[in-house]
Structure 1
Amino acid sequence: MAFGHDMVHSLATVVELVNTSPSTGGDERLADLAELRAFVRSRQVSGIGSLTPRDLMEVRRVREAFHRVFTAADQPTAVRTLNALIGETRITPRLTEHDGHPLHMHYFAADAALAEHLAADCGVALAHLLVEGEAERLRTCTAPDCDRVFVDESRNRSRVYCDSRTCGNRMHVAAYRARRRA
C-alpha cells in the first residue's frame, strides 16, 4: 500500500478519531473542548480557528459515521456510508505545503469547520482505499476485550490487533500461558 504523506496522515487521523469513541470499547475521549483541542494539536490538523461546543458535537457525529465505515458488513454498505458523509462536505481539492510537510493535497474548503475538514480529508483517504480494492484493510481489533479500529498496512494483510504492544502482546501471553497449562 503505497500512499503519499497526506493519505497516510489522513488514515492515521481517522483511526485515532474513531478510537476516541466509547463505541470502540473505551471511555469517551472527546468529552470536552479541551480534549478536542488536544486531538487537533496531536494530529496537526491545519487551518482550524477557535472551537465551539457545536464543533465538538459535529466531530462526534462524523466520528460515528467513520466508525460505521470501518465496521460495515460489506463494501457496498461502507461505500453508501462514506458517500453520505463526504456528500455533506464542500470538497475543494488544492495542493499545499505547510508545517514542514512536503507538497500534498487538501480536500476541505478553506473556511471549513473542523468536522467538515475531517470528513473531507479523511473521507477522501478512505474513499481511495475502497477504490483501490483495499477495503479489507479497514479492521477492528480481534482481541476479545477491544473494539478499536485500525488500517492494516502490513504487506500480506495479516495484522489482527490494533497494537502489537498492547492487545497483541496480551493475547500472545494468554496463549502461551494456556499452552503451558495444557
Structure 2
Amino acid sequence: MSFAPDTEVALRSVVNLINTAEATDVDQLLTPSDLDEFLAREEFTGSRTHTEGELRAVRQLRSRLRAIWISGEDDAVRAVNDILRAARALPQLVKHDRWDYHLHATTPEAPLEERMAVEAAMALVDVIRSGELDRLRVCAAPDCGAVVLDLSRNRSKRYCDTGNCGNREHVRAYRQRRSSAG
C-alpha cells in the first residue's frame, strides 16, 4: 500500500511519538528539551512555547494517538473526527522549507499539540478511507509495546523499528526449532 508522501511522513511521526513512551522502559519526552530534540528529528515546524504545559499537552496527545492506533474502526473514526472538529481543521495545500505541496489543516501559529494532532488525524483519515487500519499494529514481540506501521506490499511487518525485536524473536524461534528437532 502506498499513501501520499505527506501521509506516510505524518504516520511515521505518529509512530515515533507513540514509541517515545512504548519502545523503552524510560519515557523519552521528560523535558521541553527532549520535545525540542524530537521535533527537530521529525522536522516539525511552526510556533512553540517551549513550556512544561506544551510538553504535557504533547504527552497527552501521545496517549490519545496510541488509543486511536490500537482501536477499531468506529472508535478511530470518532476520535479522528473529534480532533478535526475541535481544531476547526481547514485543509489547505502548502509548500515550505524542503517540502513540496502537502496538506496542513491548521495555521503555523496554532498550539503545537493541536498542529500535531490535526496532522496525525489527516493522515489517519487516509488510512481509514483506504480501509487500511490493519496496517497500524503493535509489535508482535511479547515483551514490546511499541507500535508498528506496516507499509509493506504483503502486509508482513510484525515487529517495531525501535530495537531488535524482529531479530530477537527470529533467534528465539530458531533456537526453539533446534531444541525440538534434537
CA RMSD of aligned residues (A): 1.7
**Structure 1 pair 158–164 and aligned structure 2 pair: CA distance change class (3 A):** farther
Q: Tell me how far apart the structure 2 counterparts of residues 118 and 154 of structure 1 sit (CA, whole Å).
A: 25
Between the aligned partners of 1:66 and 1:179, the Cα distance in structure 2 is 38
Aligned equivalent of 2:129:
131
Q: Tell whether 2:110 aligns with 1:120.
A: no
Residue aligning to 1:174: 172
Other-structure match for 1:57: 56
Q: Is 2:50 aligned against 1:45?
A: no
CA contact (8 A) 2:148 2:158 kept: no
Q: Which runs of 4+ in 1 moved over 3 A?
A: none
CA contact (8 A) 1:25 1:145 kept: no
- Paired residue type of 2:52: P
Matched with 1:15 is: 15
Task: Indicate the residue corresponding to 1:28 in structure 2.
Answer: 27
Mapped contact 2:47–2:108 kept (Cα < 8 A): no
The residue that corresponds to 2:84 in the other structure is 86
Partner of residue 151, structure 2: 153
Count of residues paired in the alignment: 180
Identity in percent? 37
Matches within 5 A, 1:90-101: 90-101=88-99
Amino acid at match of 1:86: L
Q: Please name the residue that 2:75 is paired with.
A: 77
1:111 corresponds to: 109
Note the residue ranges of structure 1 that are not aligned, 5 or more in a row. Answer: none
Paired amino acid for 1:110: P
Relative to structure 1, the CA distance from residue 25 to residue 42 in structure 2 (aligned partners, 3 Å threshold; closer, same or farther) is closer
